[in-house]
Amino acid sequence: MTLSMYQASVPLLTRSLHNLVAILEKGAAHAEAQNIDPIVLINSRLYPNMFPLGRQVQIASDIARRGAARLAGLEAPKLEDDETTFAQLIDRLHKTTAYLETLTPEQIDGSEKKSITLPVGQDTMTFEGLSYLLYFMLPNVSFHVTTAYNILRHSGVELGKRDYLGQF
Amino acid sequence: MTLSMYQASVPLLTRSLHNLVAILEKGAAHAEAQNIDPIVLINSRLYPNMFPLGRQVQIASDIARRGAARLAGLEAPKLEDDETTFAQLIDRLHKTTAYLETLTPEQIDGSEKKSITLPVGQDTMTFEGLSYLLYFMLPNVSFHVTTAYNILRHSGVELGKRDYLGQF
């Protein structure tokens, strides 16, 4: 028995973004309970030249959406980067998981050696599908979900590892 | 073509911990250049009830070492949690990757449905091997590596996403 490229991509990405929705919901509830303007949290960052919470969420969505689309040989739907509320960020994640759920094993399986070229900063990078998934997409999505979690934790939102890992 | 449980575990975990070594080396160099006592960084945390940097590194090592051992049906070597310097934390990661490199595809492949029970806080949890790897081990290691990165970034260490993702 082995895993397929689909098994190692869409269900993990979907789960990770669902967990991020729950994390953002706790952030929104904290802001309301503490009478904090939500935009303060959405603009919070861990260091002046790191991205703020809202951008972390946008990037997590982008890497998951575009990455899965590339494995499938499709173009991911574009989303405007114009969210300014928790509800809008959560809606972006729902749109992202809804898109991921349209992708089928038939579209993604067999992409292990597919050549994938993507823009990274000013450069382009080329990967084989398997390396792209395991060494770029998955750790990158985890990075932005964790950083969103850390920004909210650092801002005093009560979150625990279970919020990040999700229910089992 | 498909992926094996080995391909989706040992090389990723090893890579992630090697990247964490490079991140810690930049932390150590920053402390020296800025005349910061390294223990201040090792004890830094993003919120008073979060674990500090040193503990994040220990946990990343534990999840990777014990997780891969469980997939292989082995007991992971124990490590004392007594590191107080960057050199000692880096040495722990080197010991961890050296252990991971002793594990073979023959030991790990075929563990997709292996029943895995582990202590989680006060409880135990039982997983099938595939879910354990994809939904627990991989995101969990990424979480602690990212949080270590975020603690150092928050402390002013100059790090970028490439340090986290590693070289391609």
Residue A128 resides in a domain: yes
Domain containing residue A104: CATH number: 1.20.120.450
Is B5 domain-assigned? Answer: no
CB contact under 8 A, B154 and A7: no
Integer CA distances (angstroms), A157 to A27, A149, A151, A163, in order: 6, 9, 9, 12
Q: Which of A131, A139, A150 sits opposite B147 (nearest CB)?
A: A150
Instruction: Evaluate whether residue B3 is within a structural domain.
Output: no
- How far is residue B126's CA from residue B117's CA, in Å, rounded to a whole number? 4
Q: Between chains, do B161 and A143 touch, taking CB under 8 Å as contact?
A: yes
Count of alpha carbons within 13 angstroms of residue B28, beta-carbon side = 14
**Gap from B20 CA to chain A (nearest CA, Å):** 13
Q: Is B133 contained in some domain? A: yes
Look at residue B153 in the predicted model and tell me its pLDDT. 98
A1 belongs to a structural domain: no
Q: How far apart are the C-alpha atoms of B106 and A4, rounded to whole Å?
A: 19
Domain count, chain B: 1
Residues 6+ apart with CB under 8 A from B6: B103, B104, B105, B108, B109
B103-113 confidence digits (pLDDT tens): 999 999 999 99
Please name which of B123, B100, B74, B143 lies closest in space to residue B12, comparing C-alpha atoms.
Answer: B100
The answer, yes or no, to whether residue B168 has pLDDT greater than 90, is no
Return the pLDDT at A1: 64
Average pLDDT over residues B22-41: 98
pLDDT band at B96 (very low <50, low <70, confident <90, very high): very high
CA A47 to chain B, closest CA, distance in angstroms equals 5
> Which domain covers residue B17, as residue numbers?
10-165
Instruction: Find out whether A32 and A158 touch, Cβ atoms under 8 Å.
Output: no
Asked whether residue B36 carries a pLDDT value surpassing 70, the answer given is yes
Task: Identify whether the C-beta of residue B36 lies closer than 8 Å to the C-beta of residue B30.
Answer: yes
* A12 CA: distance to closest CA in chain B (Å): 7
Residues in A whose CB is inside 8 Å of some CB of B read 1-5, 7-8, 11-12, 15-16, 46-47, 50, 109-110, 112-113, 125, 127, 130-131, 134-136, 138-140, 142-143, 146-147, 149-150, 153-154, 156, 161, 164-166, 168
Residues of chain A with pLDDT under 50: none
Q: Does residue B15 belong to any structural domain of this protein? A: yes
Could you identify the residue written with the tokens 């919070």? A44
Cβ contacts from A onto B, under 8 A: 119
**What pLDDT does residue B121 have?**
81
Pairing of strands A123-128, B123-128: unpaired
Residue B100 located in a structural domain: yes
The SS3 of residue B133 is helix
For residue B1, the model assigns a pLDDT of 64
Q: Is the ipTM of this complex over 0.95?
A: yes
The pLDDT tens digits of the residues spanning B112-154 come to 999 999 988 888 999 999 999 999 999 999 999 999 999 999 9
- The whole-number average pLDDT for the span B44-63 is 98
Domain annotation covers residue A55: yes
Whole-number Å distance between alpha carbons of B21 and B18: 5
pLDDT given for residue B119 in this prediction: 87
Model pLDDT for residues B64-91, shown as the tens digit of each residue: 999 999 999 999 999 999 999 999 999 9
